[in-house]
Amino acid sequence: MVCGYGEGLRCHVREFGVSRLAGLPRHVRVYEVGPRDGLQNEPTVVDTTVKAEFIERLSAAGLKTVETTSFVRPDRVPQLADAEQLVASFRPRDGVRYPVLVPNARGLERALAAGVQDVAVFASATETFAEKNLGCSIAESMTMFEPVVARARAQQVSVRGYVSMCFGDPWEGEVKPAAVVDVVARLVEMGCQEISLGDTIGVATAGQVEQLLAALNQAGMATSLLAVHFHDTYGQALANTLTALQAGVTTVDASAGGLGGCPFAKSATGNLATEDLVWMLNGLGVETGIDLPALVQTSVWMAATLGRPSPSATVRALASQS
């Protein structure tokens, strides 16, 4: 069959069958973090117009949640210094949420002034990373977040809580589930409506994922509150995701093209690639609502813009077939 570029991707995607595994959800919500978590670690600042087009392409490909930026101090993360400008420059699509990260009360006020309807705070399960990322202890960060969450909820703005270093920390080593449970419980108590569990440096394996989710359930945290956020440093992100799905998780963070990392944890490499996640879920018969060929085309475009190939195996495989 002879196909053009976009048609070639579609032809190849449709050649393979679907086989479900027992215990998986029928639908998974993919929480796209590419424009924020993906681009924050770039060595050079990406132009605002490029970011806006990236966001528009992602939402056009069927992603219903696209995290756009962070209202953080420009000197801390220069790549995201254009937060207000970016939020005002892209065209929102009906039915798509565009959350932003807010590190503190000042960040929240900036986000509210920009008309944002969904925000996230960023906590840590370890003291060392809390100090490096937020400049304070875990306890101090909770005190800082409380008025932020309360103010956002009072404005009918939804609030997500990220917890980083849930499995391992480059300074402290293994992170025990009890430490994560404590931070999650505090975030839920103050009003966070969803908690994303981050394997910030990508060291988790499937057994640890199962153990942490079980510990959270035993502590009274419903699985419906939880999302997972895996980095693919050791190639374990998909295996860890599958384990989480089998445990009942239905929200998975991912980054188009596998972009990303963390500027405050140098051993954190790219996020789970959205295309790799969608390829797996398609083969399992799990619905996402995402147009995979359109998403691949978006990541090929972004890779060309950044001047390097995408680390996503699915992007490379499908793009080579076009």
Q: How many domains does the chain have?
A: 1
The pLDDT tens digits along the chain (322 residues) read 334 445 556 656 656 789 999 999 999 999 999 999 999 888 889 999 999 999 999 999 999 999 999 999 888 889 999 999 999 999 999 999 999 999 999 999 999 999 999 999 999 999 999 999 889 999 999 999 999 999 999 999 999 999 999 999 999 999 999 999 999 999 999 999 999 999 999 999 999 999 999 999 999 999 999 999 999 999 999 999 999 999 999 999 999 999 975 444 454 468 999 999 999 999 999 999 999 999 999 999 999 999 988 999 999 999 887 6
> Which CATH number do you get for residue 222?
3.20.20.70
DSSP β-ladder status, 168-169 and 173-174: antiparallel
Which pLDDT value is given to residue 41?
A: 82
| 8 in any annotated domain | no
| 4 in any annotated domain | no
Q: Which domain holds residue 92?
A: 23-321
Identity at 298, one-letter amino acid code: T
Burial class of residue 265, CB neighbours in 10 A (0-12, 13-18, 19+): buried
Which pLDDT value is given to residue 1?
A: 30
Burial class of residue 75, CB neighbours in 10 A (0-12, 13-18, 19+): exposed
Round to whole Å and give the CA distance between 94 and 17.
Answer: 32
Residue of 3, 11, 166, 262 with catalytic role: 262
Which residues, 6 or more positions from 222, have their beta carbon under 8 angstroms from its beta carbon? Answer: none
Round to whole Å and give the CA distance between 225 and 140.
Answer: 24
The DSSP output letter for 45 is P
Phi-psi region of 68 (alpha: psi -120 to 50; beta: other; left: phi over 0): alpha
In DSSP notation, 188-240 reads: HHHT-SEEEEEETTS---HHHHHHHHHHHHHTT--GGGEEEEEB-TTS-HHHH
CB 109 within 8 A of CB 74: no
State the pTM of this model: 0.94
Which residues, 6 or more positions from 73, have their beta carbon under 8 angstroms from its beta carbon? Answer: 103
Query: What are the C-alpha distances in Å from 166 to residues 89, 115, 177, 256?
Result: 34, 31, 8, 22
- The reply to whether 262 belongs to the active site is yes
| 314 in any annotated domain | yes
| 65 in any annotated domain | yes
Round to whole Å and give the CA distance between 249 and 260.
Answer: 23
| 9 in any annotated domain | no
CB 256 within 8 A of CB 295: yes
Owner of token pair 């077939």? 321
Closest CA to 114 of 124, 127, 99: 99
